[in-house]
Amino acid sequence: MSPKKPIQKLLVANRGEIAVRVLRTCREMGIATVAIYSDADRGALHVRSADEAVHIGPSPARESYLVAQRILDAARRTGADAIHPGYGFLSERADFARAVEAAGITFVGPRPESIDAMGVKTAARARMAAAGVPTVPGSAAPVADEAEARAVADRIGWPVMIKAAAGGGGKGMKRCERPGDLPALWQSARREAASAFGDDRLYLEKALDQARHVEIQIFADEDGNTIWLGERECSVQRRHQKVIEESPSCVVDDRLREGMGEVAVRAARAVGYRGAGTVELLVDASRGFYFLEMNTRLQVEHPVTELTTGLDLVRMQLEVAQGAQIPSQDQIVRRGHAIEARVYAEDPARGFLPSPGKITYLRVPGGPGVRDDSGIYEGWIVSPFYDPLLSKVVAWAPTRTQAIERLLRALGEYVVHGVATNVPYLAAALDHPAFRSGEYDTSFCARYAQELVRPADPRLEEAALLAAAIDAHRREREKAEALAARGGLERGPSSSTSAWARLGRARALRGGDA
Amino acid sequence: MSEYVALLDGGRREEPLGVRETAPGVYAVTLRGEVHVVDGYAPDAATLSLLLDTASRAATLDRRGASVRVRVGSAVLPLEILDARRLRTRRAPRPARPEGRVAVTAPLPGRIARVLARVGEAVSAGQALVVLEALQMENELRSPKDGTVVELHVQEGQSVEGNARLCAVE
């Protein structure tokens, strides 16, 4: 058995909703917590959700959340004995995991060697192929330049996906249809990869059409016991960013699920995996599946698995980090259907441009089967420095249809003012016949782009116009009353007649023709 | 009676509206030739609960000056609401297509990843002029019209503020 010590105090090396998410479980487990924050995040929710908070630098992530030394200093200063990296930032940096362990602090995540093995995507693909895991045809190593990329693409066949060797999360990922588009896309992908990962190496994979993105959540303990917790279907993606995730997948039956689960466990074992991980697979039209990559961290969409299995994956991560054994495969029971919608501060009507700003009003959904994992509050300023994810709204129900209706209902309750959000887009996607039927693939968002950014329902438009008119009228009257009240003292109480008289007077004062 | 005009679809559609408060909290609203009697209650500054006979609709209003994003259910209707008289006075015939010199501005702060056009270059509407990197994503800023690039104020690698004038097409 592992000689690991219990965690007394955990530092969360992240921000936003995932930091809040991890801190919540720590509170439940009685583990003391430390948050870190940049200049822009002094007022962030995660700072208030922790027992201690340490300032780690200026707002740009490369000067704060990406600086391993500052995070280690914060841990030392507060006496934290464990670090949870969340997702993104340093979560998949083997050198960070090594530095944490070298400092005598528990890294809540896989061994650095496993991160290394999966971190360079081309090396991971080669390793998986050697372990008998099917992979998408592509380049065996990072591609040196455009000319080589062209040659590789000609060999594997167009269209191709350009991907970042150090990649993940869709950053630096481009689909290239034809040779003529390659130079521009190649350069763009390089810049994105360099800025997101500090590593501009790229590789190519054949782009599979009518493919579905299905991933398997796996878990392993210190002793090498490895299990799978079911799949998540993540084919609703816009610009390679996941938008809606669900479990189970409509395309996966029990037999396919067993097969994928077994392959995912094999992939994890091949790199001596420990903790929570995700094996991303591409399922083609004939239900063959291929290894895409393994994410050696907790995923954004992990709540979908939590709701269908009833497990708390963060608690399991912390237990594994303290040397506990995970449940056996036959103890894992999945029930019902869960769907997650990612609420972003972005404006679908303006090409999904991020919409930073102050949240002037916030109402969050509640009621049966609804979970809102957010890092925001009314008055919070969504900064332009970080990912504009505001919240993940997740619904659980016994059946898929009920889960769709429930999530639509919850999104109808979700109101954010001050920044534009993609809530109407999410609702349109869930309500789309192709999504409802379950017959969709990774081209869903592109294929139905027009239908998903749709004008408001005419029946609702009438109510909206009535509301706008009444609101304008009420505000005009309030302004007039405020104006009249200021002038009222001079004229004395006799002048306080009806609101209409005051309004008329106020309009006259403004030079109107009331 | 207060008279307003709601501008919809970015100003392409107009809906005249008349509002009269007939009793405290009860409004007679004229819309498309029909008078709707609406019981309107505002539980907070952003919410308006409407009762139309027995039909209950909750609207939330996100205002920025005359611009309002009205939310009913999960539908959002962006509109501008203007005093009808003021609209008449300020109304000048608006060109259907942008004429003269039209600026391309940064929709949000970021870094110029690429400059795709040169001063003097002929461009067509929708052609990408500048690539702005913001929030780790690249956004192409396109020409608002057919014409010639007459101003270019940025170079690759430069950081820009939101609303910064990047270039202009005439």
- Are residues B83 and B122 located together in one domain of the fold? no
| A466: pLDDT strictly greater than 60 | yes
Q: Can you give the pLDDT at residue A486?
A: 83
Q: How far is A237 from chain B (nearest CA, A)?
A: 15
What sections of A164-253 are H helices per DSSP? 182-197
| B95: pLDDT strictly greater than 60 | no
Q: Do domains A9-108 and A212-458 have the same CATH topology?
A: no
User: Which one of A20-34, A113-127, B59-73 scores highest in mean pLDDT?
Assistant: A20-34
Cβ contact (<8 Å) for A460 and B77? yes
Q: Can you give the pLDDT at residue A498?
A: 61
Which structure tokens are listed for B165? 């004038």
Cβ contact (<8 Å) for B107 and A171? no
Residue position matching structure tokens 């509301």: A467
Which structure tokens are listed for B94? 């608006």
Say how many C-beta atoms besides its own lie within 10 A of residue A404's C-beta: 19
Say how many C-beta atoms besides its own lie within 10 A of residue B140's C-beta: 16
Q: Strands of A160-164's sheet, edge to edge? A: A174-176, A160-164, A202-206
What residue segments make up the domains of chain A, in order of their start? 9-108, 137-206, 212-458, 459-509
Say how many C-beta atoms besides its own lie within 10 A of residue A483's C-beta: 17
Q: Can you give the pLDDT at residue A5?
A: 84
Which of residues A160 and B134 earns the better pLDDT score?
A160
Task: Please tell me which of the candidates B29, B62, B72 has its beta carbon nearest to residue A470.
Answer: B29
- Are residues B50 and B76 located together in one domain of the fold? yes
| A499: pLDDT strictly greater than 80 | no
Establish if B156 belongs to a structural domain.
yes
User: Which one of A50-54, A182-186, A473-477, A496-500 scores highest in mean pLDDT?
Assistant: A50-54
Q: How many CB pairs under 8 A join A and B?
A: 162
Which 3 state secondary structure label does DSSP give A89? Answer: coil
Distance CA B115, CA A157 (A): 31
Residue partners of A330: CB distance under 8 A and separation at least 6: none
Distance CA A246, CA A308 (A): 10
Cβ contact (<8 Å) for A465 and B15? yes
Q: Can you give the pLDDT at residue A492?
A: 46
Residue partners of A116: CB distance under 8 A and separation at least 6: A94
Residue position matching structure tokens 């919540």: A24
Cβ contact (<8 Å) for B52 and A472? no
Task: Please tell me which of the candidates A354, A467, A477 has its beta carbon nearest to residue B50.
Answer: A467
| A405: pLDDT strictly greater than 90 | yes
Contacts of B76 in chain A (CB under 8 A): 423-424, 456
Which of residues A170 and A262 earns the better pLDDT score?
A262
Task: Please tell me which of the candidates B19, B62, B63 has its beta carbon nearest to residue A473.
Answer: B19
* Percentage of chain B lying above the pLDDT 70 cut: 94
Distance CA A282, CA A396 (A): 25
Q: If pLDDT is split at 50, 70 and 90, which confidence band does A495 have?
A: very low
* Percentage of chain A lying above the pLDDT 70 cut: 94
| B42: pLDDT strictly greater than 90 | yes
Mean pLDDT, chain A, whole residue set? 92
Contacts of A187 in chain B (CB under 8 A): 114
| A26: pLDDT strictly greater than 60 | yes
Question: In this structure, what are the phi and psi dihedrals at residue B168, rounded to the nearest 5 degrees?
Answer: -145, 150
Which 3 state secondary structure label does DSSP give B2? Answer: strand
ipTM, two decimals = 0.76
Residue position matching structure tokens 């702005």: B132
Cα torsion at A20, A21, A24, A30 (round to 10°)? -110
Task: Please tell me which of the candidates A350, A415, A470 has its beta carbon nearest to residue B71.
Answer: A415
Establish if B96 belongs to a structural domain.
no
| A393: pLDDT strictly greater than 90 | yes
Q: How far is B47 from chain A (nearest CA, A)?
A: 9
Cβ contact (<8 Å) for B62 and A349? no
- Are residues B72 and B117 located together in one domain of the fold? no
Parallel, antiparallel, or unpaired: how do β-strands A106-107 and A82-84 relate? parallel
Q: How far is A257 from chain B (nearest CA, A)?
A: 34
Mean pLDDT, chain B, whole residue set? 88
Average pLDDT over residues A461-481: 94
Establish if B15 belongs to a structural domain.
yes
Q: Can you give the pLDDT at residue B97?
A: 64
Question: In this structure, what are the phi and psi dihedrals at residue B167, rounded to the nearest 5 degrees?
Answer: -160, 175
User: Do residues A85 and A108 lie in contact, with contact meaning Cβ atoms separated by under 8 Å?
Assistant: yes
Domain boundary among B39, B56, B90: B90
The predicted-structure confidence for A173-190, as pLDDT tens digits, reads as follows 999 999 999 999 999 999
Nearest chain A residue (CA) to B27: A470
Contacts of A476 in chain B (CB under 8 A): 2, 83
- Are residues B77 and B109 located together in one domain of the fold? no
Cβ contact (<8 Å) for B62 and A387? no
User: Do residues A14 and A65 lie in contact, with contact meaning Cβ atoms separated by under 8 Å?
Assistant: yes
- Are residues B65 and B115 located together in one domain of the fold? no
Establish if B97 belongs to a structural domain.
no
Which fold, A9-108?
Answer: Rossmann fold (3.40.50)
Three-state secondary structure string covering B15-69? EEEEEEEEECCEEEEEECCEEEEEEEEEEECCEEEEEECCEEEEEEEEEECCEEE
Cβ contact (<8 Å) for B136 and A192? yes
Tell me how many degrees the CA angle B36-B42-B47 measures, rounded to the nearest 5. Answer: 95
The predicted-structure confidence for A293-312, as pLDDT tens digits, reads as follows 999 999 999 999 999 999 99
Peptide bond preceding A354: is omega within 30 degrees of 0, i.e. cis? no
CATH number, domain containing residue B7 = 3.30.700.30
Distances in Å between the Cα of B33 and the Cα atoms of A200, B12, B15, B97 are 62, 20, 11, 31
pTM for the model stands at 0.83
Nearest chain A residue (CA) to B109: A384
- Are residues B8 and B75 located together in one domain of the fold? yes
Q: Which amino acid is at A44?
A: A
Establish if B143 belongs to a structural domain.
yes
Task: Please tell me which of the candidates B2, B50, B57 has its beta carbon nearest to residue A473.
Answer: B2
Q: How far is A270 from chain B (nearest CA, A)?
A: 33
Domain count, chain B: 2
H and E: helices and strands count for chain A = 18, 22
Say how many C-beta atoms besides its own lie within 10 A of residue A147's C-beta: 10
Which structure tokens are listed for A320? 């594994």
- Are residues B31 and B111 located together in one domain of the fold? no
Q: Where are the beta strands (DSSP E) in A284-383?
A: 289-295, 337-344, 346-347, 353-354, 357-358, 361-363, 370-374, 381-382
Whether the CB of B27 is below 8 Å from some CB of chain A: the reply is yes
Task: Please tell me which of the candidates A196, A456, A473 has its beta carbon nearest to residue B77.
Answer: A456
Q: Can you give the pLDDT at residue A512?
A: 44
Say how many C-beta atoms besides its own lie within 10 A of residue B12's C-beta: 8
b/e code B77-106 from CB counts within 10 Å (16+ = b): bbbbbbbebebeeeeeeeeeeeeeebebeb
- Are residues B29 and B67 located together in one domain of the fold? yes
Cβ contact (<8 Å) for B46 and A417? yes
- Are residues B50 and B108 located together in one domain of the fold? no
Q: Can you give the pLDDT at residue A1?
A: 44
| Secondary structure element (H or E) that encloses residue A257, with its range | helix A254-270
Which structure tokens are listed for A165? 């060797």
Distance CA A117, CA A272 (A): 10
Average pLDDT over residues A6-23: 98
Which of residues A139 and A340 earns the better pLDDT score?
A340
Q: Where are the beta strands (DSSP E) in A208-284?
A: 212-220, 226-238, 241-247, 275-283
- Are residues B11 and B73 located together in one domain of the fold? yes
Q: Can you give the pLDDT at residue A3?
A: 57
User: Do residues A427 and A223 lie in contact, with contact meaning Cβ atoms separated by under 8 Å?
Assistant: no
Cβ contact (<8 Å) for A463 and B15? no
Cβ contact (<8 Å) for B75 and A196? no
Query: What is the domain extent for residue B142?
Result: 102-169
| A2: pLDDT strictly greater than 60 | no
Whether the CB of B68 is below 8 Å from some CB of chain A: the reply is yes
Cβ contact (<8 Å) for A464 and B46? no
Residue position matching structure tokens 């990329």: A149
Distance CA A280, CA A231 (A): 9
Task: Please tell me which of the candidates A196, A354, A423 has its beta carbon nearest to residue B108.
Answer: A354
Distance CA A492, CA A488 (A): 6
Q: Is the dihedral of CA A458, A460, A461, A462 positive or negative?
A: positive
Establish if B14 belongs to a structural domain.
yes
- Are residues B86 and B109 located together in one domain of the fold? no
Q: How far is A203 from chain B (nearest CA, A)?
A: 19
Say how many C-beta atoms besides its own lie within 10 A of residue B161's C-beta: 10
| Secondary structure element (H or E) that encloses residue A95, with its range | helix A94-102
Establish if B149 belongs to a structural domain.
yes
Contacts of B15 in chain A (CB under 8 A): 465
Instruction: Specify the CATH class of A137-206 in words.
Output: alpha beta
Residue position matching structure tokens 């909290």: B25
Which 3 state secondary structure label does DSSP give A431? Answer: helix
Cβ contact (<8 Å) for B79 and A468? yes
Q: Regarding the domain with residue range A212-458, which homologous superfamily does it belong to in the CATH classification?
A: ATP-grasp fold, B domain (3.30.470.20)
Peptide bond preceding A183: is omega within 30 degrees of 0, i.e. cis? no
Catalytic one of A15, A93, A232, A297? A297
Contacts of A195 in chain B (CB under 8 A): 133, 136
Is residue A238 flagged as an active site residue? Answer: no
Average pLDDT over residues A149-160: 93
The predicted-structure confidence for B57-71, as pLDDT tens digits, reads as follows 999 999 988 899 999
Which structure tokens are listed for A233? 């279907």
User: Do residues A350 and B107 lie in contact, with contact meaning Cβ atoms separated by under 8 Å?
Assistant: yes
Q: Where are the beta strands (DSSP E) in A39-173?
A: 52-57, 82-84, 106-107, 160-164
Q: How far is B13 from chain A (nearest CA, A)?
A: 13
Contacts of A465 in chain B (CB under 8 A): 6, 15, 17, 31, 70, 77, 79
- Are residues B15 and B85 located together in one domain of the fold? yes
Nearest chain B residue (CA) to A194: B136
Domain boundary among B90, B117, B141: B90
Average pLDDT over residues A217-243: 96
